[in-house]
Structure formats: structure tokens, C-alpha cells
Amino acid sequence: MSHKLAFIGFGVVGQGLAEILLEKNEELKQNEGFTASVVAISDFIKGSIYNPNGLDIDVVLSTLRETGNLENYPPTSGLIKGWDSFKTITETNADTIIEVSYTDVKTGQPAIDHCKAAFESGKNVVMTNKGPVALAYKELSEMAEKESVSWGFEGTVMSGTPSLRMPITTLAGNSIKEIRGILNGTTNFILTKMEQEGVSYEAALKEAQELGYAEADPTSDVEGYDARYKIVILANYIMGIPLKVEDVSCKGISHLTLKDIEEASAEGKRWKLLAKVQKENGKVTAQVAPEKVDITDSLASIGGAVNAITYECDLLGPVTLSGAGAGKTETGFSLLIDLIHINRERKPVNV
């Protein structure tokens, strides 16, 4: 099945998917019957191009490398430049929107409105932006269902590690009563460094920033806000709990000292920033906070910038999944997971 794609935003993640589509083109066609044509890219900073006959992704990527601007894409028959994100969503011949725009996680905008415009135009959306899923899951999922389109957001939690689709598909039939996980690689890297090398929180954070794991302003990571959005997504999508961000108590790791780390080690434990949601006797509790985890716990062995999640199942017991929680290729792959899923469903799309 052939898919026409329009990228809204074309930063690291979007380019990661574009590179995967180039590299895996023949393999995807052979193994999945999946072919994709990128017809449009609209990026607030890099510019906007649309060709209903398809863009040459090799040329797109080389143009960006050489000039930094999509407006310098060479003129070809049918090429249109300068459309904004909403015109690109509603007026191009794309059937699926790749929503990877720069979005304010506190408001979910402009990605929420991008999703609405796409759904109302009869187009699928795959995305990595956490805000829309954490803040507007019910509204957007109902809208996608009403319009008979697909909405994929695997990359919003643990990047390409299938923390959302895996439990829905392969743990089906289980009642999942608790989800707890290491959902932020930056904090896990910092805590691992402090324990293994005996360095201070400040020194470990500095190294995380130098390696690109932490932003110049690391607040969202180290105070637990990033993990809070992710546990809200997990609760809504996997457990069917209409959890809101403000329902989740949140505490970060910036107060932890080397003394705290050493004391935990002496007790046979290890500090981890855990995001948890639990449903018991109809009562829901959810929190993000550092915890001293017993060394025998499956989450205790997860070190560095790796993410991990444990699903407490009534039939199978605890099931733990670990893997990359960030990265250009890894997050690009999360979008591919969603595209393959749409291809397998072969839903009719109104264009």
C-alpha cells in the first residue's frame, strides 16, 4: 500500500524518519508491502515545500545540509513553496501527517490544533509530541474514531521502544493493575553516574548536558515533569484511566546527594526516578518521585540513559521492557512503527 506523507516540522526526529524511509525502502516494500512518498514538508524555521507528485528526499536532506533552508530546494514541475502548517495539512494530497513540530508541552500547541485539522480533513496523524496525548487524549481519540482515521503516538513514551503498542497487542487479555517505569533517560544517567563514579549531582548533570542528554535548562527532566506527561499517556492509553497531568504528584532528583546514594547502596538499594500509576479497588494513585529500589528489582539493573517499564499483569505477573528512550534514529523508528501499523490496518482514508 502506498502512503503520501506530509511532515509538519522537520527537525532531528523528522529527518531521522526520512533517512529510515530512504534506507529501508526496498525492505519495507518487500516485507510489509509498504511504500511511502513524501509530498510535503512544512517547518516554521526551515521553510515549506509541496509537490503532489512527491519530493526527492535525498535532495531535501542534501539541500538542508548545504543551505539549512527548504526554500532552496531546486525548482521542479508542480513544486509549491511557502505554505504554512495548516494549509499543508488541509490542502496537500497527503493521507498521513507526520506531526513533529516544535510544541509547547504545557499547552500541547500547535500540535493539538494540527491533529484536529488533520482529522477533520480525513487524514491520519503519527506524532512524537507528548503534549497532545497527555492533555487531550479523550477529545483527539474520539475525533480520530469519528473521522475513521488513525492516530499513532508510539514515540511519545520511550521513543521507539514499544511501551505503548507492546502491552496493547501482546499482553492483551491481562488486566494491568500497575505500571511503573524509568521514563526519563537524563535522570537515570545522572543517578547512575553518581552511584558508579561517586560524582556530585551537579557534576553528573554537567556531563549529561555535554553529552546532549540534558538541555541547557534541565528542569523538565530533573524535576520529573517529562516523566509525569508520559505516565499520564500510559494510564490513559493502556489502563483506560482518564488521568490528568495535575492528578500526578511530582518530585525530581535535584535534592539527592552522594550521601543519599551511598546510604541506599549500604541498604542493598539503588535510587531511581520512578513514574507510577496504580489502580486498586477502584482507587487510582499516580506519582513521579525518586525511590530506593531493591537491587533485585528488574528496574534496578537499568543504568545509563536507558528507559525501562514494568507492567504488573494479573495473569502473567510483572513484565519488564527496556530500551532506548531517545535518539534520532530511535525516535524516527517510533514513527515508522505507527506507519507500518496503519499500513497493516489498511484503513480507508478520505482525501
pLDDT single digits (tens) 118-162: 999 999 999 999 999 999 999 999 999 999 999 999 999 999 999
**According to the model, what pLDDT value does residue 74 have?**
96
Task: Look at residue 348 and tell me whether its pLDDT is greater than 80.
Answer: no
CA–CA gap between residue 152 and residue 212 (Å, rounded): 27
Mean pLDDT, the chain, as a whole number? 96
CATH class of 165-324: alpha beta
pLDDT category at 199 given cuts 50, 70, 90 is very high
pLDDT category at 1 given cuts 50, 70, 90 is confident
pLDDT category at 350 given cuts 50, 70, 90 is very low
Report pTM: 0.95
**According to the model, what pLDDT value does residue 179 have?**
98
- Which residue's C-alpha cell is 526516578? 273
Contact between residue 233 and residue 153 where contact means Cβ atoms under 8 Å apart: yes
pLDDT (mean) for 330-345: 96
Residue of 230, 272, 276, 279 marked catalytic: 230
CA–CA gap between residue 236 and residue 270 (Å, rounded): 29
**According to the model, what pLDDT value does residue 347 have?**
45
Contact between residue 131 and residue 205 where contact means Cβ atoms under 8 Å apart: no
Domains 2-160+329-345 and 165-324 agree in fold: no
CA–CA gap between residue 321 and residue 159 (Å, rounded): 13
Q: Is 33 left (phi over 0), alpha (psi -120 to 50) or beta?
A: left
pLDDT (mean) for 247-267: 97
- Residue 123 designated active-site: no
**According to the model, what pLDDT value does residue 346 have?**
73
pLDDT category at 349 given cuts 50, 70, 90 is very low
Contact between residue 127 and residue 144 where contact means Cβ atoms under 8 Å apart: no
Domain boundaries, the chain: 2-160+329-345, 165-324
pLDDT over 90 percentage in the chain: 96
pLDDT in tens, 204-241: 999 999 999 999 999 999 999 999 999 999 999 999 99
**According to the model, what pLDDT value does residue 293 have?**
97
Cis peptide before 110 (omega within 30 of 0): yes
Determine the topology of domain 2-160+329-345 in CATH.
Answer: Rossmann fold (3.40.50)
